Amino acid sequence: MTASSSVPKHHPPHQQDQIGGSNREENDPLFDFIPRRVTPKQVQAALDGEINPFNEQPYSTRYKRMLETRKKLPVYAQMTEFYDMASNSLQEFARNQVMIVVGETGSGKTTQIPQLVCYSDLPHKKGKIVACTQPRRVATTSVAQRVADEMDLTLGEEVGYSIRFEDMTEPAKTFLKYMTDGTLLREATNDPDLSRYSTIILDEAHERTLATDILMGLLKGVAKRRPDLRLVVTSATLDASKFQQYFSIDVHSPTPLLLIHGRTHPVEIFYTREPEPDYVEAAIRTVLMIHRAEDEGDILLFLTGQEEIEETCRKIDIEADDLLKQDPDAVGPLVCIPLYSSLHPAQQERIFDPPPPRRNPGGPAGRKVIISTNIAETSLTIDGIVYVVDPGFSKQGVYNPRIRVESLLVSPISKASACQRAGRAGRTKPGKCFRLYTERDFMKELEDQTPPEILTSNLANTVLTLVKIGIRDLVRFDYLDTPAPETLMRALEVLNYLSALDDEGNLTVLGGIMAEFPLDPQLAKTLIVSPDSKCSKEILTIASMLSVPNVWLRPKGGRKEADHARALLSIPDSDHLTLLNVYNSWMQNSKDPYWSQSRYVSQRSLLEAEKTRRRLESLMIRFGVDLVSVGEGPTLYQRVREALVCGFFMQVARKEGRAYVTIKDHQQVSLYPSCGLYHRPEWVLFNEFILTTRPYIRTVTAVNPVWLLKDAANYYDIDNWKDCEATRSLIRARNQVLGRSSSRLPPRRPMDRTEVA
């Protein structure tokens, strides 16, 4: 008998809507479930049943197979405790509305807890949604797919995800939604009570991303206004007392904490005797040593970024091939799999592939080496890892509010991070972790915890979001860790100069629209005021291109060709216009992948830019930002460059000798090596300031100083500036114009004028 023939027939559609109707009851595996009073036994029976309660279809054999795997997860074993805590009868939970779940990576928090919550909340019957936030896009999409499969439902229908520029949900159908924390935060700007959600799971809270931290503060407030809302905060680090204290109403009713007992295996830790001068080189050596000398088992190597990872993959592949050729009986085949956030989702899936097979029966086993950024530290669980190689570095944000420089720097990880990394080796059996630093450095040099992002980030975007949500007192907002007052002041100042906030700190009309765009405030403003310059279609394209991973490919062995191809696409005055040119040329060539390949530009980034452009375009239409263009012609490029000034006037540098110096902050910077402005114009604006081996400005456009005075008169009140070369140059520019027209420069932006007091 097949599964479907044993199933009772479906009811006609009109009866399906009558919740509680007697026929309906017999058919609905959840008919006797009382929301938030369900018992583990009931859930168990529903999971083991024949009919999927969420779509009333018979379960597939794949569902049953996956269920068997799920049953082995530690979370599953503690289902009773979970439902005890989640049931309304538990005093603490009812009072706090918050539960904390702590458990090792791989114990099933991300995939299972949201499902358990669905059985308790029954969101599909109440038109509500259970949300689960993730700090990373990669994990959001892959986990949503995994959970849709586990529940035997369709991704994008009952189970969906939402990330910046991509919404895979169906409003009438989706009841379980994975989303990035940033996306949920943006939703709060339009619905401060987040009223469509019945439970919100803040997953991976230990990562302490800026958005998750802000959400914790907001949701603590929302819970007071919405007694029906429940929060689950999950963490992979055992020390969750900070979260527990933060959410407890008072000492007498502590926030309930569920500790998942993971089944982890011991991990033996090795240190180097001396510090390693070159950690990449040491990492390659260590991976090959493991491959030659250690027993069967996959390797996970932590590096800091895409380029480093791709390069290392190539080097290890070559060396492993050599080993195999030298002595095919001694070592097995080896594959390297890169993992970083901008990697294509299909490529990311490769981490779940089995290791390569033995070359002949009885020969040495094959080995998989995953070379990953911090993503693999807690966000994604990879089974089968026995060896971890930890050089002790990751890219971390640093922000200096004094000079407004935000950068990602390769920095030493914390002790907590090092322990997480080591833990990845003990998932399936006892493992080994090779730390490429000395034990002394681990004890003495590494910080205990990685500082939370809120202490190391530029807060301009966050402050705009909070003001839009209606938080008036930013200093006394209920932060888990309070940011430096100077950082908050800087953010307010930037938003004021951009005319998003008036002098009293109130949101302007412009600021309200800026908060709707998932872009940095500078770029959002440029886009919104660009119709005034009759080039909003072009700025839209540029904004989209700036929002996707780097389009320029520079493969090893083809660098010269790539640079040559890039030079042919370059517009001499502006990297921004070059991006526009690449996109338009690609479009004119019907998005031909061969065109992209021969020009050394990434087809995938361009496709993503096209998708992003559509999303931004629909936001522009919704908020009445006109889509206009003067069309190709001599003035278009100048208009685009001038429009960029309206948002980026605080990111301007002037050439002084061999270097550039930023305006007001007086930082010496260089043009990024890939910059196309070979003639080195006197005045430039830049999209970003990056700090690598030294400070660089990247994605640069030449500007006329007169535009700065005209379009950003508030900021360039040069009569009050101290005397320096840049000031004198601006005064000369002003005098030239005044001499010609014998009138004062007219301020050009009506929107700014009316709204700044």
Q: Please count the residues of this chain forming the interface with ligand CDP, following the rule CB under 6 A.
A: 15
Specify the residue, 46 or 143, whose C-beta has the smaller distance to ligand CDP. 143
In the complex, the smallest distance separating the C-beta of residue 107 from ligand CDP, rounded to whole angstroms, is 4
- Residue 174 interacting partner from Mg ion, ligand CDP, none (CB closer than 5 to 8 Å by kind): none
In the complex, the smallest distance separating the C-beta of residue 435 from ligand CDP, rounded to whole angstroms, is 22
Specify the residue, 146 or 242, whose C-beta has the smaller distance to ligand CDP. 146
Site for ligand CDP in 602-661 (CB under 6 A): none
Told to check if 499 binds Mg ion by CB under 5 A, we report no
In the complex, the smallest distance separating the C-beta of residue 111 from ligand CDP, rounded to whole angstroms, is 3
In the complex, the smallest distance separating the C-beta of residue 479 from ligand CDP, rounded to whole angstroms, is 26
Tell me which residue has its CB nearest to Mg ion: 110
Stretch that binds ligand CDP, among 34-42, 106-114, 332-340, 640-648 (CB under 6 A): 106-114
Q: Residue 722: is it exposed, middle or buried by C-beta count within 10 angstroms (0-12/13-18/19+)?
A: exposed
Told to check if 383 binds ligand CDP by CB under 6 A, we report yes
Q: How, if at all, do strands 159-163 and 166-168 pair?
A: antiparallel
In the complex, the smallest distance separating the C-beta of residue 111 from Mg ion, rounded to whole angstroms, is 8
Specify the amino acid at residue 475: V
Within 10 A of 32 (CB to CB), how many other CB atoms are there?
Answer: 9
In the complex, the smallest distance separating the C-beta of residue 160 from ligand CDP, rounded to whole angstroms, is 16
- Residue 123 interacting partner from Mg ion, ligand CDP, none (CB closer than 5 to 8 Å by kind): none
| DSSP-assigned beta bridge partners for residue 661 | 654, 668
- What tokens does 476 get? 């006394």
538 in Cβ contact with 629 (< 8 Å): yes
- What tokens does 657 get? 């000798």
Compute the C-alpha angle 407/411/412, nearest 5°: 160
In the complex, the smallest distance separating the C-beta of residue 433 from ligand CDP, rounded to whole angstroms, is 18
In the complex, the smallest distance separating the C-beta of residue 187 from ligand CDP, rounded to whole angstroms, is 23
Specify the residue, 73 or 229, whose C-beta has the smaller distance to ligand CDP. 73
- Residue 383 interacting partner from Mg ion, ligand CDP, none (CB closer than 5 to 8 Å by kind): ligand CDP
Q: How, if at all, do strands 652-656 and 683-691 pair?
A: antiparallel
Cross-sheet strand order for the sheet of 129-134: 166-168, 159-163, 176-180, 129-134, 197-202, 230-235, 98-102, 257-259
- Residue 574 interacting partner from ligand CDP, Mg ion, none (CB closer than 5 to 8 Å by kind): none
The correct pick among 36, 109, 566, 639 for binding ligand CDP (CB under 6 A) is 109
The correct pick among 209, 381, 603, 701 for binding ligand CDP (CB under 6 A) is 381
- Residue 135 interacting partner from ligand CDP, Mg ion, none (CB closer than 5 to 8 Å by kind): none
Specify the residue, 260 or 436, whose C-beta has the smaller distance to ligand CDP. 260
- What tokens does 107 get? 């114990």
Binding mask 61-100 for Mg ion (x = CB under 5 A): ----------------------------------------
Q: How, if at all, do strands 695-702 and 431-435 pair?
A: unpaired
314 in Cβ contact with 342 (< 8 Å): no
Q: DSSP assignment of 467-529, as one string?
A: HHHT---STTS--SSPPPHHHHHHHHHHHHHTTSB-TTSPBPHHHHHHTTSSS-HHHHHHHHH
Told to check if 107 binds ligand CDP by CB under 6 A, we report yes
221 in Cβ contact with 48 (< 8 Å): no
- Residue 111 interacting partner from ligand CDP, Mg ion, none (CB closer than 5 to 8 Å by kind): ligand CDP
The correct pick among 29, 53, 108, 114 for binding ligand CDP (CB under 6 A) is 108
In the complex, the smallest distance separating the C-beta of residue 106 from Mg ion, rounded to whole angstroms, is 8
Quote the CA–CA distance of 235 and 202 in Å, as a whole number: 9
The correct pick among 29, 103, 135, 521 for binding ligand CDP (CB under 6 A) is 103
Provide the 8-state DSSP code for 650. T
Measuring CA to CA, how many Å separate 180 from each of 57, 167, 188, 690?
A: 30, 11, 13, 25
Quote the CA–CA distance of 543 and 620 in Å, as a whole number: 12
Told to check if 110 binds ligand CDP by CB under 6 A, we report yes
Q: What angle separates helix 306-326 from helix 279-293, to the nearest 10 degrees?
A: 40
Quickly tell me which residue has 């099933």 as its tokens: 108
- Residue 416 interacting partner from Mg ion, ligand CDP, none (CB closer than 5 to 8 Å by kind): none
Quote the CA–CA distance of 518 and 182 in Å, as a whole number: 9
In the complex, the smallest distance separating the C-beta of residue 58 from ligand CDP, rounded to whole angstroms, is 24
Specify the residue, 344 or 559, whose C-beta has the smaller distance to ligand CDP. 344
Torsion sign over Cα 150, 154, 157, 163: positive
Told to check if 413 binds ligand CDP by CB under 6 A, we report no
The correct pick among 46, 47, 73, 283 for binding ligand CDP (CB under 6 A) is 73
In the complex, the smallest distance separating the C-beta of residue 103 from Mg ion, rounded to whole angstroms, is 9
Specify the residue, 142 or 174, whose C-beta has the smaller distance to ligand CDP. 142
Q: Which residues does 496 contact at the CB level (< 8 Å), separation at least 6?
A: 502, 503, 505, 756
Site for Mg ion in 103-122 (CB under 5 A): 109-110
- Residue 143 interacting partner from Mg ion, ligand CDP, none (CB closer than 5 to 8 Å by kind): ligand CDP
- Residue 106 interacting partner from Mg ion, ligand CDP, none (CB closer than 5 to 8 Å by kind): ligand CDP
Site for ligand CDP in 116-175 (CB under 6 A): 142-143, 146
Quickly tell me which residue has 């830049």 as its tokens: 686
439 in Cβ contact with 406 (< 8 Å): no
Specify the residue, 74 or 364, whose C-beta has the smaller distance to ligand CDP. 74
CA dihedral 15, 20, 22, 24 (to 10 degrees): 50
What is the phi/psi pair of residue 390, to 5°?
Answer: -120, 100
In the complex, the smallest distance separating the C-beta of residue 143 from ligand CDP, rounded to whole angstroms, is 6
Q: Please count the residues of this chain forming the interface with Mg ion, following the rule CB under 5 A.
A: 2
Quickly tell me which residue has 């289902």 as its tokens: 79
In the complex, the smallest distance separating the C-beta of residue 16 from Mg ion, rounded to whole angstroms, is 35
543 in Cβ contact with 616 (< 8 Å): yes
Specify the residue, 109 or 710, whose C-beta has the smaller distance to Mg ion. 109
The correct pick among 27, 52, 111, 248 for binding ligand CDP (CB under 6 A) is 111
Residues at the interface with ligand CDP (CB under 6 A): 73, 103, 105-112, 142-143, 146, 381, 383
Residues at the interface with Mg ion (CB under 5 A): 109-110
